[in-house]
Amino acid sequence: MQRMILDRKNHITWIGAILIVIGFAGELVFKNEVVAVWAFAIASVLGVAPIAIQAYQALKSQGCQHRCPGHHRSRRSVFYQKL
């Protein structure tokens, strides 16, 4: 499912853009707030899905870098090691 969403980012962008236009048209032209709210909500979820998936994958690929004991060093000690 993640691969499918990431492979079709351009299609998702166009669908989101169409939904935003439908939302504005529903509110401003047809005075239909229900259609506008649903169109904006669906466009928001579609728009954030690829970003959220990539963020999750980036965090997952880092492994346990920040959870291992002794991993963190102060900047000062790293600075002095370079000298």
For residue 35, count CB atoms less than 10 angstroms from its CB and return exposed for 0-12, middle for 13-18, buried for 19 or more.
Answer: middle
The per-residue pLDDT of the chain, averaged, comes to 83
**What are the tens digits of pLDDT across the range 15-39?**
999 999 999 999 999 999 999 999 9
**Confidence (pLDDT) at 38:** 97
Residue 75 pLDDT exceeds 60: no
- pTM of this structure: 0.68
**Helices 33-61 and 9-24, packing angle to 10 deg:** 150
- Asked if pLDDT for residue 70 goes beyond 80, the answer is no
The residues spanned by each domain of the chain are: 2-82
CA angle 63, 54, 42 (to 5 degrees): 140
Asked if the model's pLDDT at residue 48 lies above 70, the reply is yes
Residue 23 burial (C-beta neighbours within 10 Å; 0-12, 13-18, 19+): buried
